[in-house]
Chains A and B, each alone.
Chain A
Amino acid sequence: MRSFKKILPYVICLLASLLIIKGLDLALYPCTYTRNDVHTISTEQKDVIILGTSNGKMNLDPDIMLEGTGLTGHNLCAGGQYPIDSYYLARLTIEKQNPKLIILEVDPSYYMEEKEPGNNYLLFYHEFPISRTKLSYFWDALKNMDFRSLLFPFYEYELSYEISHIGSNLSQKLKGEYDPDRLRNEIQMYHENGFIEKFPVDPHKLPVYDPELFYEEKLLPENMAYIDRLIRTCQEEGIDIIAVSTPLPGATLKRYEENYLAAWKYFGEYFNERNVPFYNFNREYFKAFSHDAEVFVDYDGHMNGDGARAFSRVFGQIVWGAQRQQ
């Protein structure tokens, strides 16, 4: 009893500290589009879930893609989404609802790089509701990260940015607001279905990035292991899974031809062995959609809004046409 009396002030102080920490998180951690995405899939039933990288986020509009099918969908892709994140996002989706199909957008560069600790994990983990999946995700991805990731996830954002958004963060989080208009800026617009529409740019001035080139020997086994787990989980849960590689600009494909050919060969065989249909718009379905610069906003393969909508329509016709044939 005496011991308990001694410990009680510490317990109270610990709880008060946790409360302050939670307050700081509410005020300083920005409201990202992933917050909206995770909220949607945790609260609304969707038939089709799209996972993958920024190329998937900006090139696949679920509403256009699923037009006339009677299905609903949500784009859960995000820049910096590695296989581990795709796997846990899929698990969260399965834990919260019953999707019929998962579409995995494939960008070969993400399979060779080790995911850096920090922001990219927190982008997803932070928004996960308390769940078994969140616990597993923590154990797999965050347990060895420094304590800031758990207690102060806002640490990866610039302080001046955080301070300027305190009011808006607090009001959105406390009121439970998920207004997509707040996520609009001068270069892009977030849609309620998770699709990000990029505004067109001058096709003669597309920015060039140096992609992480594909070499089979550089593939990280842990990345591939998470894709294996994702496929297995879908198959065990009776959820269809398909993979897609969205069109890349012709100039990019030409410049790194050897690496991309090797990548398509590898992933083609990989998905084939696992009975996962792979819709590769840079090889088998190359001619199905334009690879001209006019469709893109950069040489990395991110499309502008019109291009993305046109591609989503083509993709939808190919996939659902194929399924109907089956």
Chain B
Amino acid sequence: MNPAAQSYIHEARDLLTQLEQMLLDLETEASPEAIDSVFRALHTLKGGGSMFGFPALSAFVHHFEDAFDRVREGKIGISKPLLDAALEGRDHVIALLDAGGDEAATAELVGSDQARRILAALEGAVAGAPPAVVRLARWEVSFRPSKGALRCGMRPDLLLAELRELGDCRVRCDVSDLPVLENLDPAQSHLGWVVELTTAQPRAAIESVFVFADDADPRIVALDQDEPPAAAAPVEMPSAETPATAASAPAAPARSAPRAQTMAGQDTVRVPSAKLDSILDQLGELVIAQARLNQTAARLGDSTLEGLVEEVHRLVTGLRDTTLSVRMLPIETVFGKFRRVVRDLSTELGKDVVLVTDGGETEIDKNVLDRLSEPLVHMIRNSADHGIESAADRVAAGKPAQGRVRLAASQDAGEIVIVIEDDGRGLDHDKIRRKAIDRGLLAADARPTEAALAQMIFAPGFSTADKVSSVSGRGVGMDAVLSAITGLRGTVEVTSRKGEGTRLTLRLPLSLAIIDGLLVRLGPDVFVLPLIAVEECVEFDVTELTRNSGRRMLRIREHLVPFVDLADALEGTVENDGRRRVVIVRAEGERMGLVVDDILGQHQTVIKPMSAYHADLDDFAGATILADGTVALILDVAMLLRRLGGTGISLAA
């Protein structure tokens, strides 16, 4: 495929992503700007399609462009059927793009029942659309420039022209102050104007005409009794015409959001992510080489060399941060997708569910983001399907009929925290217990804590939904989610209050390639624990030991924490029997102490995957090269905890 067509496909995909958001926005607020953006996006899609070898796509989009042109002109209004058809049409366009110009595949799509159905739905929506609601209002706008205004650069003709752009004008000129000819000073202003303006624009738009003409004493009077409330009217003006905010806040950019987006688009360069990956790989090597250089310089003790090394260190650190940031994308790019998921789910389940998002600007590594989207969809589906009750049940429980799923992202030190929270019925702990016993995941006499029970929803083959709906409930969901998140070296925790809702908390590393690690020593070997999993380090004190139902426990500030000797777990050797330390680690809602010989400190760790020969070593997530060139293994805390917990998922104390 030629590069131009390739870049059209990229652009079209971006545009389609935006289009989906715009359409969803229209559902809540159909401002003229929003309608215009949709139209422009469709127009660009269509134009590019016919130019770059996608005539079928272009022809298909044309129908929608046409429909939104009519909306734009105020001939028809926005309706749910129209938006439904447009959203489905958008999905179909993606399919057409996926066909990538292949004629057979395209022809099949064009002739498909799906395409016909969508176009029929569009036609129906346009035919049945309600007339556009344009609230025209009549205003009397009068102004009279001061005598010296013309000298100061005021142009009444331009003011009148601007008023005409707002709507229909009937202009009367007030000549009552005009002096007789012999007294007339042509450099002075003697005229006043009264304009009867009929417009859909709000008062603010009229006021903005007079931003630089406030000494013309403009008066704006609503002629109809019911002046349209400012909130209902589109407040943002097409910026090129009217800097509406110029008078009150001149520094505020008058650009509307879509324009800002396109401007940003022009400053960006598209790079295949494989190239970024290779830069990052080489950078990893550089970090390692730099660490070795550091050590060598320290050994040689040459101050000039040390100075240079320090400089190199600073540069490498800067380079690493910049490179990592290049790969960062705002999480919004996937959040957007979920609005659609929830909208479609609401329809499918017959529930009224709304998705609220927070912290969309939080940035996360592209690799993490790509692999995060699937599990997040699953969790959101689960929240909407299992979590949110039917409207009737909600009202009976004294809750608002509309269910709420909240998706929030934030950055917390070196990790990304994503919270998926619903205000639904909460987890039914009894039901989970019965089910777990049923499935043989739990001994009949076990008495796990509620937290441990909640964590059971992540067990393979576990599902408490009585009926299997098409949305979820086949029991393949949450364990897949857990393994996906674990694969990203992240953790999931679930908390729930009966009748109030369920909250899933995901913690993910910022990047997959470099992590902060804690170096621990065990005999002659050094291991790395991902810092994200480390809660605290304490001295190992034999007198604090307690035994509880057969397991060795450590008392840490009134809490009993099970612990294991890492040397036993890894069948390593203990060098000294003197002072030892315990690292408290946490994964999947469980805490455990790992006894080690010594803690060496923090280390920025470049992760090297294990070779195929070592792939079955579950305890390790990878390896890294230390400053002295030796290799250290990175412990996979979640796997280790699961194995050491003995009973798989239920690590309950």
- Do these two chains really belong together in a complex? no
Give the interface of A toward B (CB within 8 A).
none
Give the interface of B toward A (CB within 8 A).
none
